[in-house]
């Protein structure tokens, strides 16, 4: 009976004397090694001529306690094997240790899996470290738990410094942490401004994904440095600005000519008085100088606006009101339209929440749309001289999530076959010399940079309507915001 139990144990079992010779062993041991009694265990397991330097059987003989080790050896067919080895003392009636039982549990499969796992971990660790973009692992509160080598390179911090930081701390925009967390809920951010350890701002795109395991839920963020791309886009935008200023040159010259004419008339008046040795009355001098100051300030304002519009922006987002940008753009463009007998109608909502954008870039969007509307109305007037009122309408409306701006004209309208392509770079229906094909493409890029949308609605011969939707600062647009019907003109 005891022999049956001994042989039925599902592991290798041997009984050894103080010389580490086999006294007994079970059937599994015999099947795997074909051993003979009195052979030494180290010769059978490992093919050694001498005992192992660390032997659990010997330790049990010495202290009478069970011991556990992990050993490597070979079966009789040459297969390498790994075992968990456990030993226990065997006593005689006088409580003297006369032998030690050794049980070996085969863990070869587990060890092979561990090897594969380590190899896989090493492989994926190498991939993780060599990914050419910054890679972050964060908990649900955006606290960084791990990052790759590129993250350290881009941000200038060591890996040890980054771990434990909040991902929100990288943002250089003037936003509180909760606003940044709301922005991160978008999961995909086309452009954001981050700041490195040296205090230098740079542009990034962010892809944020939620990973769920059996134990937890955490975030993986992939951050790409897009500074070079943004700088190239800025150069393109700057070229477009210069083109826009060139197109507006006639109107600007006319607008500047008015205050300059007034100044010339006043100066001529004073010259005549001096030639006639006449002294103007004090109230006359005061009135004239007030007019001079007013017109100098007016000319200075026009020139300053041109300089601000034409300069290369820093592309930093801030909380701004869309109405303010529209008023600035319309003020800049008003004279352009007046000399062409085009009415500019403003229907601006009074109570409005701020959006997150750069005011100069957003102004360029409205000026580009006003330029297109102006050209469309002039083209329509050439084809239909008796057309109704030439008019451009700028209107705004908003709710708790977004601000909507509409630019509506009474021009030619956009053919349906062209409408899907109008935001493509370098696509233009204007004659050579009248456009670069970049205006609407740049408008699209600027608006989408701020998490917004721009759409065009038109019917040939009935004008066009461009709808710009921008999220309120600290929020994001929903998939169903806003609902517009193509072809609808208001």
Q: What is the architecture, at CATH level 2, of domain 317-490?
A: 2-Layer Sandwich (3.30)
Q: Judge whether 380 and 387 are in contact, CB under 8 Å.
A: yes
User: What per-residue confidence (pLDDT) applies to 428?
Assistant: 66
pLDDT per residue as tens digits for the range 440-468: 888 888 898 888 999 999 887 788 999 99
pLDDT over threshold 50, residue 485: no
pLDDT per residue as tens digits for the range 290-345: 888 877 877 777 677 666 665 555 567 789 999 999 998 888 778 778 878 889 99
User: What per-residue confidence (pLDDT) applies to 315?
Assistant: 61
> Domain 2-111 is in which class?
alpha beta
Q: What is the CB neighbour count within 10 angstroms for residue 366? A: 24
User: What per-residue confidence (pLDDT) applies to 125?
Assistant: 81
DSSP letter at 431 equals P
pLDDT per residue as tens digits for the range 222-273: 999 998 887 777 676 666 666 666 656 655 666 677 778 778 888 887 888 7
User: What per-residue confidence (pLDDT) applies to 437?
Assistant: 53
pLDDT per residue as tens digits for the range 10-49: 889 999 999 999 998 988 998 888 877 788 889 988 888 8
Q: What is the mean pLDDT of residues 413-433?
A: 72
pLDDT over threshold 60, residue 486: no
List the domain boundaries for the chain.
Answer: 2-111, 131-225, 227-312, 317-490
Q: Residue 279's pLDDT band (boundaries 50, 70, 90)? A: confident
In the chain, helix, strand, coil percent, each to 5? Answer: 40, 25, 30
User: What per-residue confidence (pLDDT) applies to 488?
Assistant: 38
Long-range contacts of residues 60-69, Cβ cutoff 8 Å, at least 24 apart: 60/87, 60/88, 60/89, 60/97, 60/100, 61/18, 61/89, 61/97, 61/100, 64/89, 64/97, 65/89
User: What per-residue confidence (pLDDT) applies to 396?
Assistant: 94
Q: Looking at per-residue confidence, does 414 or 324 come out higher?
A: 324
User: What per-residue confidence (pLDDT) applies to 2?
Assistant: 59
Say which CATH topology domain 131-225 has. Beta-Lactamase (3.30.450)
pLDDT per residue as tens digits for the range 128-140: 888 889 999 999 8
Q: Residue 490's pLDDT band (boundaries 50, 70, 90)? A: very low
Same fold? 2-111, 131-225: yes
pLDDT over threshold 90, residue 157: yes
- Mean per-residue pLDDT of the chain: 83
């Amino acid at each position: 009976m005891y022999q049956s139990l001994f042989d039925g144990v599902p592991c290798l079992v041997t009984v050894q004397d103080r010389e580490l010779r086999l006294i007994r062993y079970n059937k599994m041991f015999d099947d795997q090694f074909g051993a003979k009694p009195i052979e030494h265990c180290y010769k059978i397991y490992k093919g050694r001529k001498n005992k192992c330097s660390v032997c659990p059987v010997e330790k049990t003989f010495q202290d009478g306690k069970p011991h556990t080790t992990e050993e490597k050896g070979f079966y009789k067919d040459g297969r390498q094997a790994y075992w968990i080895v456990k030993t226990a003392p065997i006593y005689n009636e006088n409580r003297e240790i006369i032998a030690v039982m050794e049980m070996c549990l085969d863990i070869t499969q587990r060890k092979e899996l561990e090897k594969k796992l380590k190899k896989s971990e090493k492989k994926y660790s190498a991939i993780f470290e060599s990914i050419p973009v910054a890679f972050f692992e964060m908990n649900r509160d955006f606290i960084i738990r791990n990052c790759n080598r590129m993250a350290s390179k881009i941000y200038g911090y060591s890996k040890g410094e980054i771990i434990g930081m909040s991902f929100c701390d990288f943002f250089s925009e003037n936003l509180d942490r909760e606003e940044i967390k709301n922005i991160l809920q978008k999961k995909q951010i086309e452009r954001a401004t981050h700041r490195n350890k040296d205090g230098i701002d740079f542009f990034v795109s962010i892809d944020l994904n939620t990973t769920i395991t059996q134990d937890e839920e955490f975030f993986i963020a992939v951050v790409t440095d897009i500074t070079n791309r943004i700088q190239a886009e800025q150069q393109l935008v700057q070229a477009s600005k210069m083109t826009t200023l060139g197109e507006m040159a006639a109107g600007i010259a006319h607008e500047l000519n008015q205050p300059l004419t007034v100044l010339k008339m006043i100066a001529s008046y004073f010259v005549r008085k001096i030639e006639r040795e006449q002294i103007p009355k004090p109230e006359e001098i005061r009135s004239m100088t007030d007019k001079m100051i007013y017109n100098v300030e007016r000319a200075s304002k026009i020139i300053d606006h041109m300089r601000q519009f034409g300069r290369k922006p820093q592309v930093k987002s801030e909380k701004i009101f869309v109405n303010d940008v529209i008023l600035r753009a319309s003020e800049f463009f008003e004279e352009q339209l007046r000399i062409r007998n085009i009415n500019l109608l403003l229907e601006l909502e009074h109570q409005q929440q701020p959006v997150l954008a750069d005011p100069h870039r957003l102004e360029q969007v409205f000026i580009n749309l006003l330029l297109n509307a102006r050209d469309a109305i002039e083209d329509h007037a050439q084809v239909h001289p008796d057309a109704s009122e030439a008019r451009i309408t700028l209107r705004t409306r908003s709710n708790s999530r977004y601000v909507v701006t509409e630019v509506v004209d009474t021009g030619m309208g956009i053919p349906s076959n062209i409408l899907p392509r109008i935001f493509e770079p370098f696509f233009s229906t204007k004659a050579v010399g009248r456009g670069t094909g970049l205006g609407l493409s740049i408008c699209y890029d600027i608006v989408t940079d701020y998490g917004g949308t721009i759409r065009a609605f038109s019917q040939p011969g009935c004008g066009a309507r461009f709808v710009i939707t921008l999220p309120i600062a600290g929020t994001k647009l929903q998939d169903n915001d806003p609902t517009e019907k193509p072809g609808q003109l208001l």
